[in-house]
Structure formats: structure tokens, C-alpha cells
């Protein structure tokens, strides 16, 4: 699957177990990234916060042999033009293993895992929530995430997290606001400064005459003043007629359909944001 960059990705869902065999939930997403231009492949893991487990990453490394076997033998992907094609199993595994974690990993545990991985010739990188927060402070968001608060958990939050996993910073209240900030001033600054605005159009959004309507009006005004298209629509459970009744202009914009899945929607937005 393309992720908006120059390599392909394939995912597997992995479960961790306690010593007594009990399966831990939720599952971990293992992602193999294949770059056919450089003949290389590497692995990412998205590690959720598993209740009762201090360091899921350490448990995951207990499966190191399975981790290393997967990119070597279980990649049924072929890339390249006819006559110059390369099979995924023939790409060189670089040894890069990156953990994207929902909670910070203690420094002493990181050091221990890095040393253990180095002994078998592999390189670990950790990208936990503290790294995300640091990037949000240092990097200017590429888009403002405009959504109805009722769609926050099931749609807007999942999309914002997926965009972060694709290394695409966005303005999203959980990421961009801190205690004491003025909500109005922060939102106005985000709407004014972000290069684009992702509008998550749902029945809740279209019926909201409050914040979301003002956010749409603001970014539309920017489009008129700056004479460029800034709005990237995402449609969830709305029809063209629904959107037309809300805004004729929005009905004419190509939208990403949420029915494609959060990864594909994020992938299409990344391509649009990267020009």
C-alpha cells in the first residue's frame, strides 16, 4: 500500500501474551516499509497503551526472531516496471526498527533494549508521545483539523493520530493546546497560519451552527483573500446533496471518503498536503 511517499507498506496485527499465555489487548500494528528505489526495507511498530503492562516494547522484543523472519520471508509484494521488478523478499532489511508508542518509555529501558538489539546488528528508534509533543512544538502544522466535537473520538482523533504516524503534523486540540491557552485565540491562530484545513464533514458538522460554522467561514474567507484552495474535505455519512445544501462550493470539491478507512484517508491527505 502506498503511504504518500516513495515506498510501499504492508501491515500485520500482532498480539502479546503474559507469561501464563493470556493474550493482551489491544493488538500491536507491525508495518513493513519497502523502498524499491533503494532496495531496502525496515519495520515500524505502533504500540498502544496496554493496561497493566509497563513496557510493551520490551515484551515485543522477546519476539525478535519472529520480527526478523517476517521481513525476510513473508512479503508477497513485487515492485518496479516489467523487466526490472524486485520481489519484497529480495530487498535488504536495514535492521531499522522503530516503535511509535502511546506512552513514554523509560530511558533505562530504552538503553537496555538498544544494547540488546545492537548485539544482533539492529538499530532501534523510539517515537513515543513525548517525541510527538516535542515535534508539535518545533514543527508548524501542515493542516488545521476542523471537526464537530461529537466526532472527536471516532473520526477526528483517529485521523489526527494516523496523520502523525505518517509524520504529517496537524493542528488538533489534543496535540496543540495546553492548559491555560485561550481556545478562541488558539483556534483563530491555527486557522490563519496552517497552510491547509481538513474539514471533516459529517451530519454533526453540517448541523452545527456554532464553532464549526465559524471555522468554515474563516477558512473560506482565507481562500477568497489568498486566492487559493485551502480546504481538504473528508466526507463521513453525508451525500453530495447534504453538502450542497450546506455549501455549493464544498459540494464541488473532491473529497476523501471515510468509508475507505482511516489509513487510506490519511494517505490521500498526505499526498495533497505534500503538493
Report the catalytic residues.
215
Q: Sheet containing 40-47: give its strands across.
A: 8-14, 28-35, 40-47, 92-101, 123-127
Q: How crowded is residue 257: how many other Cβ atoms within 10 Å of its Cβ?
A: 14
Helical residues (DSSP H) of the chain, grouped into ranges: 56-61, 64-73, 107-119, 129-138, 157-165, 173-176, 183-193, 203-207, 211-226, 240-246, 248-251, 262-273
Contact 29, 10 (CB under 8 A): no
**For 256, phi and psi rounded to 5 degrees?**
-85, 130
Residue 74's SS3 state is coil
- Measured CA to CA, the distance from residue 177 to residue 126 in angstroms comes to 24
| Radius of gyration in angstroms for the set of CA atoms belonging to the chain, rounded to a whole number | 21
Amino acid at each position: 500500500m502506498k503511504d504518500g511517499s516513495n515506498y510501499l507498506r504492508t501491515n500485520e496485527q500482532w498480539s502479546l501474551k503474559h507469561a501464563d499465555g493470556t493474550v493482551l489487548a489491544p493488538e500491536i500494528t507491525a508495518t513493513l516499509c519497502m523502498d524499491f528505489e533503494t532496495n531496502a526495507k525496515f519495520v515500524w511498530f505502533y504500540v498502544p497503551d496496554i493496561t497493566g503492562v509497563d513496557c510493551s516494547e520490551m515484551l515485543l522484543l522477546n519476539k525478535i526472531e519472529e520480527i526478523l523472519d517476517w521481513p525476510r520471508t513473508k512479503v508477497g509484494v513485487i515492485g518496479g516496471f516489467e523487466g526490472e521488478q524486485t520481489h519484497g523478499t529480495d530487498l535488504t532489511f536495514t535492521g531499522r526498527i522503530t516503535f511509535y508508542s502511546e506512552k513514554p518509555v523509560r530511558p533505562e529501558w530504552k538503553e537496555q533494549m538498544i544494547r540488546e538489539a545492537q548485539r544482533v546488528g539492529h538499530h532501534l528508534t523510539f517515537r513515543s508521545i513525548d517525541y510527538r509533543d516535542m515535534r508539535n512544538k518545533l514543527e508548524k502544522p501542515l493542516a488545521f483539523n476542523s471537526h464537530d466535537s461529537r466526532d472527536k473520538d471516532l473520526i477526528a482523533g483517529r485521523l489526527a493520530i494516523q496523520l502523525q504516524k505518517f509524520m504529517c503534523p496537524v493542528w488538533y486540540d489534543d496535540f496543540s493546546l495546553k492548559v491555560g491557552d485561550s481556545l478562541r485565540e488558539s483556534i483563530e491562530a491555527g486557522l490563519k497560519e496552517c497552510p491547509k484545513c481538513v474539514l471533516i464533514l459529517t451530519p454533526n458538522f453540517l448541523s452545527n451552527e456554532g464553532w464549526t460554522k465559524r471555522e468554515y467561514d474563516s477558512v473560506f474567507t482565507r481562500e477568497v483573500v489568498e486566492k487559493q484552495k485551502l480546504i481538504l474535505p473528508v466526507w463521513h455519512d453525508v451525500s453530495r446533496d447534504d453538502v450542497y445544501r450546506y455549501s455549493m462550493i464544498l459540494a464541488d470539491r473532491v473529497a476523501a471518503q471515510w468509508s475507505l478507512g482511516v489509513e487510506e484517508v490519511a494517505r490521500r491527505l498526505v499526498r495533497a498536503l505534500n503538493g
